Every structure is written in C-alpha cells, then in structure tokens.
Amino acid sequence: MTATKQWHVNKNVDNLSGCPQIQEAAACLKGNEVVAFPTETVYGLGGNALSDEAIEKIYRAKGRPSDNPLIVHVASLEQLHQICDSIPDSAQKLIDAFWPGPLTIVLPKTGALSKRVTAGLSTVAVRMPEHPVAHAIIKAANLPIAAPSANSSGRPSPTLASHVLDDLNGKIAGVVDGGASGVGVESTVVDCTVEPVAILRPGGVTREQLEAVVGKVTTDPALSQPDKPPKSPGMKYQHYAPEAPVYLVAGGKEKIQELAKLAQSNHKRVGVLTTEENKCEYPMAAAVIACGKRADLASVAHCLYDSLRAFDETHVDIILSETFPMKGIGAAIMNRLSKAAGGRTIE
C-alpha cells in the first residue's frame, strides 16, 4: 500500500458530516478500506463491521490475534438495533446515562455482523463515541464501524494522529487528524448479558459511576484468567507495551530509588514513570517521565500512552513505574500498566 493519506479536521466546525475530509474518509469505509480517526478515548482503526474484507484488513494492519474481538461503534440507536438482538433493562439504563461516551456494552448480536468482528462469540461489544469527528464519520458512512485502537497490536494505544502513523503508515488507507483524544485510556467495557452487570475492562466510566445507575457491579473473573476466551478487547493479551520491559513497583518511591540504583550498578539504563509530584526524586535514572499529577488521576490517564511511547526515544533498558490507587479512573490506569508490564509487579 502507498503512504497513508492524512485528513486534517477541526472538530469544532459546524456540520462536520458535510466536510469534504469526512466525506472522503467515509467513502473509504464504504469501500471496505480501513481509516483511523479520533475518539474521546484513543484513536480507533475503523472498518465496515458488516464486511469480512474490511475486518480482515483491520486484523492484518494491527497484527492482531484473530480470537480478540473488536468493539463496534454506532452513531444512532437504529444502528444499535441493526446489530444487537435485544437490549436488557440494565443496558438501557447505562445507554441513557452514558451514551454517547466512553462506555462499551456487550449485548446479544444479530446475524448482520461479520463473524470476524466477534471472534465467534454470540455477543458483540458496542459503543457510541462522543467525539464529534468519530460521530460524524460513522454518520457519513451510514455503517456500524468496528474500531479497535489504531496501533500495532501490543503497543501503547495512540492518542495523537502521529502515534497512528508511527505504527501504521503504509498499512492503512488514511487517518483523520482531529487533534489529541481526551480521556486517554479506552472505554470501560461491561457485560449486560449477565446479572449483575460485569466489568470486562475498566476505563473512562468508573465502577462508582456504573453502580450509581444499575446498583451492584461485579468484575468478570476472565479479566484475570488469560486461558478464557475473551469477551472483550484488553482481557487476554499483553497490551500497551513500550520497547523496554515495564515493572510495576508497589513499594513507593523509596523502593524505586533502591531498584534504580541496583540496576544502574549493573550498567542498565533505567527509566522511571512517575508524576509531577515525584519527578525530582529519581536523579539516578537515565530518563524520568512525569505522567500527569498524582493528585489528579484523570491527568495520569490522559498522559499514560504518550508517556509510555516517549520511553522508546530514551533507549532505556528497563522501566520502573509507580503504582496508583485502584479507585475511580485509577482502576483503568492500573489495568493498562499491568498489561504493559505483562503482569511484572515488584511488591
């Protein structure tokens, strides 16, 4: 494939769906090509969810395992009913409360979808994005759009169009550059085919917010059992990883200082992932990257993937990461860091 085409779009203009750039990107999707675009979480790699050809192009571009299902994005409730067989009461309450927004809901599927989208499952994961560019593209294409994160499989998810091009230039038809994404970590995924509702992946909507709408919410045990068939992206494989191995360090900054000095004595270049509050605590490290403020975990989520990608420019041998509270958006941050580390945690 030739170099990936870029379309620059101002997300704040009126009638985005009528913009020539949006129309051209939508025409590519209608032609079963794949196109990256911003959502309020990360950049997604979109393809026609009804087409085996388009879905195969997504898997091939990303190098994604074929048993890892895709999230389908819709721009209307009509599109939702086209691909979902039924909407349980719990799902309707969550739709009313959080759509459009960073919440993906697993529902029984119809036969309209490409079987490649759902990796052979009887369910489909669906969300309605809030980002005006994503919404405009899906509306203009008039198709449900399957869209995993627009990165090579296993790499940190992209929050800028430049991140997409770093991984996928020449592998996809185009990327719509609508500026930086917002939340910075992917959507929360919940299974509404079970009672009570189960979290399959923590994300932009917190457990506390979910429980305020539907009562008690559980965590699917498959989230920590990699031998189970994944119902959702982000459950089974290592994800979000920079080139150097990541280690989560649960002992606080003193333990990171100790480990960094030890690694340095063994002639290792050490990177430390920290926050603004602690960025001056690691003078022994070869690279220190502050990922938001610990006092504002939303800022950590927003900066997380950009920070992980930034370590690739430092040529460190290992990365030691601080850990974060598991409440609110902190649960999503720790889920992504654990995946990036492949479960490597130093207690």
Alpha carbon separation from 104 to 162, 180, 219, 225 (Å, rounded): 25, 21, 15, 21
Residue 53 maps to a domain: yes
Residue 232 maps to a domain: no
Q: Are residues 197 and 273 in the same domain?
A: no
Residue 235 maps to a domain: no
What pLDDT, on a 0 to 100 scale, did the predictor assign at position 153?
87
- Please count the other Cβ atoms lying within 10 Å of the Cβ belonging to residue 3: 9
Kindly report the average pLDDT of the chain as a whole number: 93
Q: Are residues 258 and 208 in the same domain?
A: no
Q: Are residues 257 and 182 in the same domain?
A: no
Q: Are residues 163 and 277 in the same domain?
A: no
Q: Are residues 181 and 44 in the same domain?
A: yes
pTM of the model: 0.90
- CATH number of 69's domain: 3.90.870.10
| pLDDT for residue 283 is more than 70 | yes
Q: Are residues 250 and 220 in the same domain?
A: no
Residue 27 maps to a domain: yes
Residue 233 maps to a domain: no
Q: Are residues 154 and 302 in the same domain?
A: no
Helix axes 89-98, 207-214, angle to 10 degrees: 120
Residue 238 maps to a domain: no
Whole-angstrom distance, CA of residue 208 vs CA of residue 308 = 27
Q: Are residues 59 and 192 in the same domain?
A: yes
Share of the chain above pLDDT 90, in %: 85
- Average pLDDT value for residue range 90-96: 98
- CATH number of 291's domain: 3.40.50.11030
Give the tens place of pLDDT for each residue, 213-259. 999 999 988 766 555 555 666 555 556 789 999 999 998 999 999 99
Three-state SS at 236: coil
Alpha carbon separation from 235 to 26, 175, 199, 270, 342 (Å, rounded): 30, 26, 11, 29, 12
Q: Are residues 157 and 286 in the same domain?
A: no
Total of domains in the chain = 2
What pLDDT, on a 0 to 100 scale, did the predictor assign at position 232?
60
Residue 120 maps to a domain: yes
Q: Are residues 13 and 159 in the same domain?
A: yes
| Residues spanned by the domain of 143 | 5-224
What pLDDT, on a 0 to 100 scale, did the predictor assign at position 212?
98
Q: Are residues 315 and 285 in the same domain?
A: yes
What pLDDT, on a 0 to 100 scale, did the predictor assign at position 221?
81
Q: Are residues 10 and 109 in the same domain?
A: yes
Length of the chain: 347
